[in-house]
Structure 1
């Protein structure tokens, strides 16, 4: 008797990091995410709609992680809009979805919310994320500290959440650092896949732009810390996907 192979956990690659940082860190967003997911029983599939990769049939997917990107959701690139429509189908099926940064904003947009430029500008560096009351019973975030450090690099945000979405975390600059839509779809504005070296690398690569904004890149580098609680979300999500696949 043949045992059916489990459906893959898909990483949708919608962007790439800086070439110098990719070489230094030994990989790109999808590699950092795969490392963070940890050991799991599901096959892993990486697709890149930007280069024309076909988005798989939603019925054949166990879960999805959508990466960050240096693009902007508000530019409505064809590959981005096609991915948004696909994400809406996954959420309708209760397939577990985790959108990170660009993926977070795209998920909000896909479900009827709005993504666009943050009215107060960029948020870059290690920031403090504060959980909301709803996080206490959320399958992904429950049990995390009430406040924890996380790495962030974003100019755009989820400006308006989809109808029925649950706000889970934020901070003074970014009120929507995490939300849940339906039972199994999450967006996080921060980067659980970044380690401290990746965050310092981003500050270094953006030093000129940060200086033009009046920010002190050297001081920002000094404030970078490890973000274990934020990083744990990838492994937590992998467990949710495994449980859902086995249900």
Structure 2
């Protein structure tokens, strides 16, 4: 089994944690569907682990903002660069996506069109269709999304693997085994609806109807499958 490490960068809302589990629990549940297990490192409160003890990293989402440059977040950047230099397998999700892009020379910040929340369509680029990880997905698939910030400028040398009408950088590849996605493969429909319930006022302020978005929430098995596929890619060949 690969030595997987979940890099925890934040907490979900209290009611989400109570009913469904925190971010790391959601990842663990998805990975457990195919028998994979993962340790957890809380980047906000724990010292940086030794990369030699890890086969693959999964960097979670957060309610923090990458552009706020909190000390714990900034400390992760050179660590992630070192992980890429070791060709360690990595998968960043939402905040993790934005943080990896910023660490590798891109730019992350508030999206000029505002927040994207709910179940939305995502499309693979031609490069995405040929990618060893995302290329297993349909050309067009649904994913759970909730973010106010985005990757505004992809790092030099990275490859855009997926996009949609809201976000030109829904998925990026930074090297042969380093990926990140803006969407949440670990979210279930119930978790997505709980997030939309929290965002009613914020979405109304930007002209969106959270209740209508709730009615359009569906299961997203294709996006969810990325977590197990990533773990399989990290598993050493027997």
Residue 168 of structure 1 deviates from its aligned partner by 0.1
Contact 1:41/1:242 (8 A) holds in 2: no
TM-score by length of 2: 0.96
Q: Does 1:223 align with 2:216?
A: yes
- Give the Cα–Cα distance (whole angstroms) in 2 for the partners of residues 41 and 95 of structure 1: 21
Q: Does 1:48 align with 2:42?
A: yes
Q: Counterpart in 1 of 2:3?
A: 8
TM-score by length of 1: 0.92
- Give the Cα–Cα distance (whole angstroms) in 1 for the partners of residues 139 and 43 of structure 2: 36
- Give the Cα–Cα distance (whole angstroms) in 2 for the partners of residues 38 and 131 of structure 1: 26
- Over 3 Å counting, the alpha-carbon distance change for 1:200 and 1:41 in structure 2 is closer
Q: Counterpart in 2 of 1:3?
A: none
Runs of 5+ unmatched residues, structure 1: 1-5
Q: Counterpart in 2 of 1:64?
A: 57
- Give the Cα–Cα distance (whole angstroms) in 1 for the partners of residues 14 and 157 of structure 2: 39
1:88-134 residue CA offsets vs partner (Å, 9 max, x unmatched): 11111111000000000000011111111111111011010000001
- Over 3 Å counting, the alpha-carbon distance change for 1:135 and 1:147 in structure 2 is same
What SS does the corresponding residue of 1:127 show, helix, strand or coil? strand
Contact 1:100/1:187 (8 A) holds in 2: yes
Q: Does 1:137 align with 2:130?
A: yes
Contact 1:8/1:42 (8 A) holds in 2: no
- Give the Cα–Cα distance (whole angstroms) in 1 for the partners of residues 37 and 53 of structure 2: 12
Q: Counterpart in 1 of 2:25?
A: 31
What SS does the corresponding residue of 1:74 show, helix, strand or coil? helix
- Give the Cα–Cα distance (whole angstroms) in 2 for the partners of residues 224 and 89 of structure 1: 38
- Give the Cα–Cα distance (whole angstroms) in 2 for the partners of residues 68 and 220 of structure 1: 21
2:17 to 22, 25, 37: 22
Calculate the aligned-residue CA RMSD, in Å.
Answer: 1.5
Contact 2:102/2:108 (8 A) holds in 1: yes
Q: Does 1:117 align with 2:110?
A: yes
Q: Counterpart in 2 of 1:172?
A: 165
Q: Counterpart in 2 of 1:201?
A: 194
What SS does the corresponding residue of 1:142 show, helix, strand or coil? helix
- Give the Cα–Cα distance (whole angstroms) in 1 for the partners of residues 108 and 114 of structure 2: 14
Aligned residues: 238
- Give the Cα–Cα distance (whole angstroms) in 2 for the partners of residues 55 and 92 of structure 1: 16
1:154-207 residue CA offsets vs partner (Å, 9 max, x unmatched): 011111111110100000111100010011111100000001000000000111
Q: Counterpart in 1 of 2:228?
A: 235
In the TM superposition, 1:88-107 aligns within 5 A as 88-107=81-100
**After the TM superposition, which segments of 4 or more aligned residues of structure 1 sit over 6 Å from their partners?**
none
Contact 2:125/2:162 (8 A) holds in 1: yes
